[in-house]
């Protein structure tokens, strides 16, 4: 297996951690991007990973900033080599009905969840094109596919992410690069833990599998999409949602 450099934004989050562990266990050099103000908790997370047997590097990166992504990708490239695998996993929620949504809750979610995909991908794409190999996986959401009460901002950003996936997949398909989306359903992480308990409970009851997903179930899909084995699936949106939403 070829050892690759994998940059996972939001790497210290619930789903991001599982992705980092899975890619590290496949022998890659994994770099976890974290939100700069979270330095202390990111370092504690790194130690925890180390104690579990995973050696994962850290990179501070504000994914909502084009120039900060450029800086972070530059530093990672200098230290570890060119980024071959990019997983755009950083994301936030600012839930609330549209009628009450402040402009900053729209802007923050668009910047962190959608602009981020451009901000990061733009700085790795030319290297991947030059080398003729690359894997990009964008972590979207079931709520980008079906909409969700209280998530006009989040649903729009996540749907936009897959539009980005499809376009970039076309632009890079002939150059050894695959670009795909994984759309998780309700996964047991801090993000879903922050939901009102009764709302979460009623959503989980509506999941055909009658349970939340595990971060590892997302990581498995990401690991395959970013592997050598996946040379022919590109522009796809892989649902990992317990049957909550199905489509053609």
100, 104, 126, 205: residue in contact with ligand CAA (rule CB under 6 A): 100
Q: Which stretch binds ligand CAA (CB under 6 A): 22-30, 113-121, 187-195, 227-235?
A: 187-195
Binding to ligand CAA by residue 88, rule CB under 6 A?
Answer: no
Q: How far is the CB of 154 from ligand CAA (least distance, A)?
A: 6
Q: Which strands, in side-by-side order, build the sheet including 56-60?
A: 56-60, 29-34, 5-9, 85-88, 134-139, 177-184, 237-240
Q: And the tokens for 66? A: 């084009």
Q: How far is the CB of 86 from ligand CAA (least distance, A)?
A: 20
Q: Which stretch binds ligand CAA (CB under 6 A): 65-73, 94-102, 207-215, 219-227?
A: 94-102
Residues 6+ apart with CB under 8 A from 124: 7, 73, 82, 83, 86, 134, 136
Q: Is 34 a catalytic residue?
A: no
- As beta bridge partners, residue 85 has 6, 135
Q: Which stretch binds ligand CAA (CB under 6 A): 51-59, 135-143, 216-224, 225-233?
A: 135-143
- Which residue's CB comes closest to ligand CAA? 150
Q: And the tokens for 82? A: 């060119």
- As beta bridge partners, residue 213 has 187
End-to-end CA, the chain: 34
Using CA atoms of 128, 236, 91, 214 in order, give the dihedral in degrees to the nearest 10. Answer: -120
7, 35, 106, 186: residue in contact with ligand CAA (rule CB under 6 A): 186
96, 127, 176, 235: residue in contact with ligand CAA (rule CB under 6 A): 96
Residues 6+ apart with CB under 8 A from 182: 137, 138, 139, 140, 218, 221, 222, 225, 237, 238, 240
Binding to ligand CAA by residue 206, rule CB under 6 A?
Answer: no
Binding to ligand CAA by residue 199, rule CB under 6 A?
Answer: yes
The residues binding ligand CAA (CB under 6 A) are 93, 95-97, 100, 141-143, 148-151, 154, 184, 186, 191-192, 195-196, 199
Give the active site residues.
154
């Amino acid at each position: 297996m070829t050892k690759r450099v994998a940059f996972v934004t939001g790497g210290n989050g619930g789903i991001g951690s599982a992705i980092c562990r899975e890619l590290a266990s496949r022998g890659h050099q994994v770099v976890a991007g974290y939100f700069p103000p979270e330095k202390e908790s990111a370092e504690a997370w790194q130690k925890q990973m180390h104690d579990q047997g995973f050696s994962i590097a850290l990179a501070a990166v504000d994914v909502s900033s084009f120039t900060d992504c450029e800086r972070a990708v530059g530093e990672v490239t200098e230290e570890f080599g060119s980024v071959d695998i990019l997983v755009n996993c950083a994301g936030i929620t600012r839930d609330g009905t549209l009628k009450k949504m402040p402009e900053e809750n729209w802007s923050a979610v668009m910047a962190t969840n959608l602009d981020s995909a451009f901000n990061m991908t733009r700085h790795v794409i030319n290297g991947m094109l030059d080398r003729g190999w690359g894997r990009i996986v964008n972590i979207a959401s079931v709520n980008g596919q079906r909409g969700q009460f209280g998530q006009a901002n989040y649903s729009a950003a996540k749907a936009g992410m897959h539009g980005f996936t499809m376009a970039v997949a076309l632009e890079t398909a002939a150059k050894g690069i695959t670009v795909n989306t994984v759309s998780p359903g309700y996964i047991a992480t801090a993000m879903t833990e922050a939901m009102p308990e009764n709302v979460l409970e009623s959503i989980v009851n509506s999941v055909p599998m009658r349970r939340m997903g595990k971060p590892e179930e997302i990581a498995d899909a990401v690991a395959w999409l970013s592997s050598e084995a996946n040379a022919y699936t590109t522009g796809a949106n892989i649902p990992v949602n317990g049957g909550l939403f199905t489509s053609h």
